[in-house]
Structure 1
Amino acid sequence: MKILTNPFRGHGLPHPDLEDVPAPSVASQKPVDMLKRCPRAEVSPLLTSQALAAQCEVAEVTIKDERARMGLGSFKALGAAYVVACDHAAGKAAGTTYITASAGNHGMSVAAGAAAFGARSIVYIAQTVPEAFADRLKQEGSEVVREGDNYEASMQAAAKAAKDQGAVLLSDSSWPGYLERPHRLMEGYLALMAEVFTQIEAQPTHIFLQAGVGGLAGAAAAIARDHWGDGPLVIVVEPEFAPALITSIDKAEPAQTTGPASQMGRLDCKEPSLIALKGLSKDADFFVTLSEDEGRAGADAAAQVELKSTPSGAAGLAALIASPPHRAALALDHQSRVLLILSEGPEG
């Protein structure tokens, strides 16, 4: 595991590309209220694991378990479907075609939201996305198109298709000129942390947040700062094969990265969301990257305590397990209370 202390903590990365980018929302009440009206919605559990706390030599490991969220298998259910629900409330969803690119879970949310509100969905996926995810997307009523060798290539194809067809592009990332919908999508993720605030007994000292383009991490970090202030240390976790956020912080500019495909497939994103980067450059204390072996170790550790997930879903746990060489830097000790998000269920 590699670690970078965030030099922009508290004030954010000053860069021209971020000047007109909105910071992540912390307005959780709207997504919470809208979620209550969804027949598929239930509050996801907050678990504690004494076994993992002992293994990691900390006082407490608390896990927000998103594996069954709305029957879609991940926290992503809170994002795109929320955007479509907001469109429906404004009378704009029915008959609309939503196009996106996805490594799997975001597409599920687009598909479910579109199906629920009389819309159509088309999801572009890369060649590396497992066929099981393609099948699940189809079962939710989406048309699936494979194009590109990675997420970025499939995203370019989706954006072109949306423009050519006059459809609505619904991405979970953001870039210059495309900010409104991903900003609202990240707002949907706030419902997860709003639940945590009512469930957790003691304020955590550390929050490990896995990141692909950074949407979940950016939203969770922003509302954690709003609710808990500067107390918890926020650690953002990426695969070393897709270090978009840590590279952007290190270079002090939004960075495009390259690398082989990671087994942490849902985190295998080579460019950061600008909204997430803006927020995390202010709110995160550390950025870390995981090797492929470390990612697998996290999933294995989760399975051993009957919390089966994937290397993507258990990446926060993987970083905690891999942290011993950096315990002093991360201020981890036997009194630490660690909050993790188990962001998706197992494949297959």
Structure 2
Amino acid sequence: MKDLLPAAHLGHVSCSPARGDAAHRVLSPQDFDAAEGEITQWDGYAPTPLVALPALARAIGVDEIRYKHEGPRFGLGSFKALGGAYAALGVLQREIAHRTGAQVELADIRAGKHRDAVAGITLVSATDGNHGRSLAWGCQRFGAPCRIYIHAEVSEGRAQAMRDLGAEVIRIDGDYDASVRRAKDEAEAHGWFVVSDTSWPGYTDPPRDVMAGYGVMVREICREMDRAPTHVFLQGGVGGLAAGVTAALVQHWGEAAPRVVVVEPDRAACLYESARAGAATAVEIAEETIMAGLSCGEPSPLAWAILAEEARDYLTIPDTLVAPTVRLLAHPLGNDPAVEAGESAVAGLAALIAARSDASLSAALGLDESARVLLIGSEGITDPEIYARIMAGEDMA
């Protein structure tokens, strides 16, 4: 077991959250219902695989590992396909209704009945890659102009993927949080509309829609499982994925919902530091992580409201674990299926394997031979060049 990944130190904060109603109030069952009803009607919709990894589970000493592989999602390579495009549709619906004073149906926008109005509504966002790609894809489908802001370290391959979907891509100096600020400022100056996966005071509808879209993924998972997992390891970032998945699991499983473990790069650990402080806390990113989708220094307040009440553990992992975990999924143990995973997808699995090699951390997390662990494989190969370098043996840390 200890030979599966390099030795590494994991940061750990354990919480005793005061359970409240945020998992039903911030994201209601009706929010998830609406997202599922719309997204499952889109051309190309199909549930993504929930992969069992029994040989790996035996090797690390847990009962079960289930890995939700989001690589095939709508041909876009990540779970973000469920969020950005759906939130864009909501922005278009609200703005057209505001301009016309009439009720607007999502299906009518999707069918092109408001194409002239949509063509005059520019949607913008900041991204590390996957959210922007989803937004660009949605804008292309619905006929809206799209501007995407990326920071200095976003790979050119990810930028080109968004251009290929018709987006205008603006690269800025600075990090992800700087690109968020630039997108907001230019949208305000030009009358454009931000479709962000992070919230701020007075801005909650699009990020709520983003998280509601992620519920489609969770409902697919729950339909395939006859009992709740004991643990779910969730990537951090601004917290949208972790919060959306957590709320949907709590609504489905109730008191039997799994123990929530949030995992972040040690180079971008804003949720970990928020847990330490007991309040949403921003961090300065001094060095970018290979886990590009998780390189976020400021939590989403909307997401934090849920995590503060539901998440029990926060872990940080070093970049040195990422490439070996990507290769382990591609060349699996025993008869486990091979999975092509991107760098951000493996954070939860890397943390799980590393935790099981540390007896005290395993005990602190309640991980033992009876643990049934759910992982969200949030992306497939979203940058073929980086994936090829990892598979060639580069550690990229």
Checking the alignment, whether the CA contact within 8 Å between 2:44 and 2:74 is kept in structure 1 is yes
Equivalent pair of 1:295/1:314 in contact (CA under 8 Å): yes
Does structure 1 residue 321 correspond to structure 2 residue 353? yes
The AA in structure 2 aligned to 1:237 is V
Report the AA paired with residue 182 of structure 2.
Answer: A
Q: Which residue of 1 aligns with 2:135?
A: 110
* 8 Å contact from structure 2 (residues 79, 214) kept in 1: yes
Pairwise CA distance, 1:11: 4.0
Q: Residue type of the partner of 1:113?
A: G
Q: Which has the larger radius of gyration?
A: 2
1:157 is the counterpart of 2:182 = yes
Contact 1:209 1:217 in 2 (8 A): yes
**What is the TM-score of this pair, normalised by structure 1?**
0.93
Which moved further from structure 2: 299-308 or 324-333?
A: 299-308
Instruction: Report what 1:94 is aligned to.
Output: 118
1:237 aligns with 263
Shift of residue 86 of structure 1?
Answer: 2.9
Whole-Å Cα distance in 2 between the matches of residues 170 and 89 of structure 1?
A: 13
Residue in 1 aligned with 2:101?
none
1:218-248 per-residue CA deviation (whole Å, 9 max, x = no partner) reads 0101111111123311101111111111111
Can you list the C-alpha shifts for 1:190-231, whole angstroms capped at 9, x where unaligned? Answer: 111011111123311111111100101101011111111233
Report the Cα distance in structure 1 between the residues aligned to 2:230 and 2:244, rounded to whole angstroms: 18
Which of 255, 271, 293 is residue 298 of structure 2 equivalent to?
271
Asked if the contact 2:48/2:69 (under 8 Å) is kept, the reply is yes
Gaps of 5+ in 1: 14-21
Alpha-carbon separation, structure 2, partners of 1:29 and 1:150:
35
- Measured after TM superposition, the shift of residue 170 of structure 1 is 0.8
Counterpart residue identity of residue 315, structure 1: A
Superposition deviation, residue 41 in structure 1: 1.3
Superposition map of 1:146-295 within 5 A: 146-231=171-256, 232-258=258-284, 259-295=286-322
Instruction: Return the match for 2:13 from 1, 4, 7.
Output: 4
Question: Aligned pair in 2 of structure 1 residues 289, 86: CA closer, same or farther (>3 Å)?
Answer: same
Asked if structure 1 preserves the Cα contact closer than 8 Å seen for 2:147 and 2:170, the reply is yes
Secondary structure of the structure 2 residue equivalent to 1:135: helix
Q: 8 Å contact 2:197–2:207 — kept in the other structure?
A: yes
The SS at the match of 1:178 is coil
- SS for the counterpart of 1:7 is coil
Equivalent in 7, 31, 37 of residue 33 of structure 1: 37
Question: What amino acid maps onto 1:58 in structure 2?
Answer: V
1:4-56 Cα offsets, whole Å, 9 max, x none, are: 1123242499xxxxxxxx62344321111111210021111111011221222
Aligned CA RMSD, in angstroms, stands at: 1.7
Q: Deviations over 1:150-171 (max 9, x none)?
A: 1011111111111111000111
Deviations 1:119-169, CA, capped at 9 Å, x for gaps: 011000011001000110011111100012210111111111111110001
2:144 aligns with one of 105, 116, 119: 119
> Residue 87 of structure 1: CA displacement?
4.1
Query: What residue in structure 2 maps to residue 58 of structure 1?
Result: 62
SS in 2 for 1:313: helix
Match of 2:26 in 1: 23
Question: Residue 25 of structure 1 contacts residue 186 of structure 1 at CA under 8 Å; is this kept in 2?
Answer: no
The residue aligned with 1:18 is none
Instruction: Say if 1:265 and 1:38 are closer, same or farther in 2 by CA, change over 3 A.
Output: same
The whole-number CA distance in structure 1 between the counterparts of 2:353 and 2:195 is 35
Q: Give the TM-score normalised by the residue count of structure 2.
A: 0.82
Matches for 1:301-320 after TM superposition, within 5 Å: 301-305=328-332, 306-320=338-352
User: By how many angstroms is 1:88 displaced?
Assistant: 4.7
Mark the runs of 5 or more structure 2 residues left unpaired by the alignment: 1-9, 97-116, 333-337, 385-397
CA contact (8 A) 1:26 1:187 kept: no
Mean Cα displacement is larger for which, 169-178 or 303-312? Answer: 303-312
Q: Distance in 1 between the 2:254 and 2:40 partners?
A: 27
Matched-pair contact (CA < 8 Å) for 1:299–1:308: yes
Residue 90 of structure 2 contacts residue 206 of structure 2 at CA under 8 Å; is this kept in 1? no
SS in 2 for 1:230: helix
- The answer (yes or no) to whether the contact 1:25–1:219 under 8 Å persists in 2 is no
- Distance in 1 (CA, whole Å) between partners of 2:21 and 2:276 is 13
Asked if structure 1 preserves the Cα contact closer than 8 Å seen for 2:91 and 2:195, the reply is no
Distance 2:317 2:207 in 1: 26
Q: Provide the rounded CA distance (Å) in 2 between the counterparts of 1:269 and 1:340.
A: 20
Name the amino acid aligned to 2:253.
W
Q: Secondary structure at the match of 1:133?
A: helix
Kept in 1: contact 2:12–2:314 (CA 8 A): yes
Identity %: 35
Counterpart of 1:77 in structure 2 is 81
